[in-house]
Amino acid sequence: MQIEMVKGAGGVFVPVDDMTAGKLTKFKNGEVYPVEVKLVRNPQFHRKVFAFFQFCFKHWSGEKADLEFMDESAQFNTFRKNLTVLAGYKDITYTIDGRMRVEAKSLAYGNMEQPEFEECYSALINAAIKHIFGNTKDQNVINQLYSYF
Position 43, amino acid: P
pLDDT for 80 equals 93
pLDDT for 64 equals 64
User: Which pTM was predicted?
Assistant: 0.69
pLDDT for 109 equals 77
pLDDT for 14 equals 87
- Write 80-85 long-range contacts (CB < 8 A, 24+): 80/53, 80/104, 83/53, 83/56, 83/124, 83/127, 83/128, 83/131, 83/132, 84/120, 84/124
The residue ranges of the chain whose pLDDT is under 70 are 39, 62-66
